[in-house]
Amino acid sequence: MAAFYAGFPETVPVRTVNRQCSSGLQAVADVAAAIKAGFYDIGIGAGLESMTVNPMAWEGSVNPKVKAFEQAQNCLLPMGVTSENVAHRFGVTRKEQDQAAVDSHRKAAAATAAGKFKDEIIPVATKIVDPKTGDEKPVTISVDDGIRPNTSVSELAKLKPVFKKDGTTTAGNSSQVSDGAGAVLLMKRSVAMRKGLPILGVFRTFAAVGVDPAIMGVGPAVAIPAAVKSAGLQLDDIDLFEINEAFASQFVYCRNKLGLDPEKINVNGGALAIGHPLGTTGARCVATLLHEMKRRGRDCRFGVISMCIGTGMGAAAVFERGDCADELCNVRKVESNNFLSKDVL
């Protein structure tokens, strides 16, 4: 129905994919893999989420045998509780989390003011309905409206923990409830050149890994090395990272665990400021990453996108800037990897 509404003819096939927080990136990876396999030459990997309309909580029942398996039971933990688990187990302080949130808002506000998001955002005409009077007001949304430029550590420190009485995860250092959609157009390089289309980036590799559901936020710390290694690269080869900030606790942990340069990560802010519409995030991160890589030019060849995934997974993908790809860019010997969730501890 959405495809018809968007103007696609009946001859275009569609399908849906669900990998929770990584659904948008999984869609992009699936299209890239199908093109590489020769199934078709052009595809769109897209994701959407309306968290204000669709309930995030599971309302159905589950097999009672779940209670007999701790890890299966942990798949049902509220994501905020898993954030608290990460903070507690790995010693991520409240101050570190609040500072990460402040940094995210500051960078996102600066990027918005500088017009950096204009090339990747399509304005959406919609309406706002007054809940009291029912009056409708037409509006056009062209910027992310969750960014709070004046956020400070002192202000965030006043917020109470949400998921645990003596915890550290608050509304201020968690990603917000958001609506959004994103789409990534992919095709064979030869087809893009024949059509005269600009090539923003090259999809190199993708990896999805499993981790302990109780600390699902550690996913990027396992997935990033797996994806980078399968691309024949090392972490030091990556010039830019987009790591989803589901919660500040897990973002800070993954950044520190991998020893990444903070100046390379979420340079235009992340989900703590922009938002994390679950199905959208993967596609949104691709747009943000590739446009920033284009701006940086020759100083930025490889970029990585990664996120943690509810129920205990992580995903990551490696991209190369489109105007510097060559036949020999992936020639390092790639050894098989066998990453397990325990490797992150």
DSSP state of 57: S
The pLDDT of residue 338: 58
Residue 167: pLDDT band (50, 70, 90) is very high
* Alpha carbons within 13 A on the beta-carbon side of 141: 11
Residue 344: pLDDT band (50, 70, 90) is low
The pLDDT of residue 331: 44
The Cα 308–Cα 296 span in angstroms is: 27
Reported as a single tens digit per residue, the pLDDT across 221-274 is 999 999 999 999 999 999 999 999 999 999 999 999 999 999 999 999 999 999
Check pLDDT > 70 for residue 163. yes
Check pLDDT > 80 for residue 345. no
**Residue 328 in tokens:** 């020999």
- Sheet containing strand 302-309, edge to edge, reads 201-210, 313-321, 302-309, 240-243
The pLDDT of residue 219: 98
DSSP state of 51: T
Reported as a single tens digit per residue, the pLDDT across 85-131 is 999 999 999 999 999 999 999 999 999 999 999 999 999 999 989 98
Check pLDDT > 70 for residue 330. no
Check pLDDT > 90 for residue 321. yes
The pLDDT of residue 343: 54
Choice among 30-34, 155-159, 285-289, 332-336 with the minimum mean pLDDT: 332-336
Backbone angles phi, psi at 334, to 5 degrees: -105, 115
Residue 114 neighbours by CB distance under 10 Å: 10
- For residue 292, give every residue at least 6 positions away whose Cβ sits within 8 Å of its Cβ, in sequence order, or none: 116, 240, 267, 268, 300, 303
Query: Does residue 323 sit in helix, strand or coil?
Result: helix
Residue 328: pLDDT band (50, 70, 90) is very low
The pLDDT of residue 244: 98
The Cα 225–Cα 223 span in angstroms is: 6
The Cα 61–Cα 259 span in angstroms is: 41
Across all residues in the chain, what is the average pLDDT? 93
The pLDDT of residue 336: 56
State how far Cα 315 lies from the chain centre.
Answer: 9
Query: Does residue 247 sit in helix, strand or coil?
Result: strand
The pLDDT of residue 51: 92
Residue 325: pLDDT band (50, 70, 90) is low
Share of the chain above pLDDT 90, in %: 85
Report H helices in the chain.
2-5, 23-37, 70-74, 79-90, 94-113, 153-156, 189-195, 219-230, 248-258, 271-274, 281-296
- For residue 219, give every residue at least 6 positions away whose Cβ sits within 8 Å of its Cβ, in sequence order, or none: 209, 211, 250, 254, 306, 307, 308, 309, 312, 313, 314, 315
* Domains recognised in the chain with CATH numbers: 68-181+201-321 (3.40.47.10)
- Residue numbers annotated as active site: 21, 276, 308
Reported as a single tens digit per residue, the pLDDT across 73-98 is 999 999 999 999 999 999 999 999 99
- For residue 296, give every residue at least 6 positions away whose Cβ sits within 8 Å of its Cβ, in sequence order, or none: 239, 240
State how far Cα 158 lies from the chain centre.
Answer: 28
The Cα 123–Cα 288 span in angstroms is: 16
State how far Cα 277 lies from the chain centre.
Answer: 9
- pTM higher than 0.95 for the full model? no
Check pLDDT > 70 for residue 337. no
